[in-house]
Every structure is written in C-alpha cells, then in structure tokens.
Amino acid sequence: MGIKERQERDREAVSRAILDAARDLFVRDGFEHVSIRKIAELIEYSPAAIYGYFPSKDDIFFALAEEGFRLLHGDQQHRAALDPLPPVDRVRAVFWRLYVFSCEHPQYFALMFIDRTVPRISREYERFTFAREIKRSLVSDVEAAMRSGDLPSTVTPDLVLRIVSSALIGVAMLRLTDRLAPGEDADALARDVLEVTLAGLAAAPSIRSTSADDYPQNRSTLSLHDAHVS
C-alpha cells in the first residue's frame, strides 16, 4: 500500500470515528446538546481536528442523514427484488422497508425522523442527490399504481407518500419509545397499519389534507417523509 492510499485509509477511519461518535451522542443527548468539543473528547481528538473533516456540527448530521438514506434504500439485492413486482406492491415494499429501517437502524431513524432539533434536510436539499433519486423512483411507482387503479388518481403522489409514511413512522415511534402494550406485536401492528392505509387510499375517500408540494414556496424542496425533511 502506497503512502497516498494509507493516508486516504487513515482519513476515512477518522471520518468514520467522528460520525459514529456524533451519532451516539446525538441520539443519547439530543443534537442541540452536543458540541464539536464533546465529539472530539469522545474520540480523543482536538476540536480543530474535527473541523478538518467537517466544517460544522450541521455537516456531521447531514453526512449521517446521507448514510441513513442509503441504509433506508437497502442494498442492490433488495432493490432488484422489487423490479418484477406490480407497482402497488413495490410501493408497499418500499414503505415496509421504512419500518424495517427503524428496527435495524434505530439511531439513524431517531435522528432523521424523531429529533426535532436537527437541521432541516430540505434547507440543504441540493446535497442529497441520492435521496431525491429515491423519491423520484417512489413517485414513479405511485403514479404507475394510480394508472393501474390500485391507488386513487384524485390525490397527488406526494400526498400518498405523506399519508403512508406518517402511518408507518407512527408505529415505529411507538416501538422505539416503548409505548406499546405488554405483549403487543409491533411488526404485526406495522403490517396492519400499512395494509389498512393502502386499502383506505384505494377506496378513494375524501382527502382533506394537502401535500407540501401543493404550496408554491415548497415546490423546490426535497419534500420527503417527515417534519425534519420536508
């Protein structure tokens, strides 16, 4: 291994250590209560060294959020398995993946969907190319399900995303915050909530809410699943 490759490997290792420490502290103490100095102390580096990797605490969060979106999307094998499915089943599988993500990566989920003090991702949406690609793919699947009659064409795809993701995030939060009744099966509840929500949408009820994209000032934002993202 050459000097350049070794330096790059060492830099990646330090960056990984910073992100892991920050993630643990953000979840444990809350984003607003964590400083660069706290992160530096945990990994036994100077604050100045941290700034050599990330210009600000916000940038550390955005890096973690980018990782979170990639974990949420799943690996190549998972995505390939969705290709032959009918559009509505792809939509169902993607939203089920959101719940699974909350189980497999609770720290990332908590930062992205629960902590109210983290920066809004929509304010830095230009850096989240991967997340925008995820949304475009999901919107395409929703539109295809609308054309096939499995989802109503009387609502916007963004509103479908908002309604279904809100339902699954709710169950995930109940599970993560230990708000379920003794013996209650969170997985079964999540599955029921997903199926009932999709069935309710398919019945084309009168929808009172509007999506963020219905407002002109929001049309240039990322507009994904939660208050920190949209």
Q: Which tokens sit at 217?
A: 């000032």
Report pTM: 0.86
- Helices 57-73 and 3-29, interaxial angle, to 10°? 90
Would you state the structure tokens that stand for residue 87, as one six-digit string? 């559009």
> Quick one: which of 168, 161, 195, 65 has its CA closest to 120?
65
Per-residue pLDDT, 217: 45
pLDDT in tens, 21-46: 999 999 999 999 999 999 999 999 99
Cα separation, 34 vs 53, in Å, equals 17
What is the rounded CA–CA span in Å between residue 135 and residue 3?
40
CA distance 105 to 132: 21
Which residues make up the CATH 1.10.10.60 domain(s) of the chain? Answer: 3-55
pLDDT score for 111: 94
Residue 70, pLDDT score: 93
Q: Which CATH architecture has domain 63-218?
A: Orthogonal Bundle (1.10)
Distance of CA 93 to the CA centre of its chain: 15
**The predicted structure's pLDDT at residue 5:** 86
Residues of the chain with CATH 1.10.357.10: 63-218
Find, among 167, 161, 176, the residue nearest to 94 by Cα: 161
Name the one residue in this structure whose structure tokens are 């920190």: 228
Q: What pLDDT is attached to residue 208?
A: 83
Residues of the chain with pLDDT under 50: 215-227, 229-230
Is residue 161 within 8 A of residue 89, CB to CB? The reply is: no
- Whole-number pLDDT of residue 228: 53
Question: Can you read off the two tokens belonging to residue 140?
Answer: 């395409």
- What's the pLDDT score for residue 118? 95
Cα 46 from Cα 73, distance rounded (Å)? 34
- Go through the chain and tell me how many residues it has: 230
Q: Please state, in angstroms and rounded to a whole number, the distance separating the CA atoms of residues 141 and 215.
A: 23
- For domain 3-55, the CATH class is mainly alpha
At residue 52, the pLDDT reads 95
